Homo-oligomer: A and B are copies of this chain.
Amino acid sequence: MREFEHPEPSEITLDGVLAALADPLRRSIIRQLADGPAEQRCSRFALPVAPSTRTHHFRVLREAGLISQRYQGTAILSSLRSDDLNARAPGVLDTILAAERREHPASA
């Protein structure tokens, strides 16, 4: 029943954001969050990795300030922190997402 640690908007660094987005699997998570419902449970993501690896990637994204997570029963709902990101690094997320969609059109 605990809470997650989320960085404050002011604590979000470009370095953390780019390091998080440098991994293709994490980009696919971000992309699905951007293109789908605002809040999605972890199990909704079809990732070719073990559960514990999935957890690892979600944590990296959360600690970088890219997503926020909250509990709902046994599930965890994740959502994009678009506003905080755009305040801190305007356009970075959107341009990267656009490039990602362009480079990999089908796989959402």
Residue ranges of A at the interface with B (Cβ–Cβ < 8 Å): 13-15, 18-19, 21-22, 24, 27, 88-92, 94-96, 98-100, 102-103
Contact = CB atoms under 8 A, between A and B. Distances in A.
A99 B89 contact: yes
Q: How many copies does the complex hold?
A: 2
B92 A96 contact: yes
Contacts of A99: 14, 88-90, 92
A98 B37 CA distance: 30
Contact of A18 (B21, B90, B91): B21
Nearest to A96: B92
A103 B22 contact: no
14 contacts: A13-B103, A14-B103, A18-B18, A18-B22, A18-B27, A22-B22, A89-B96, A89-B99, A89-B102, A90-B95, A90-B98, A91-B98, A92-B92, A95-B95
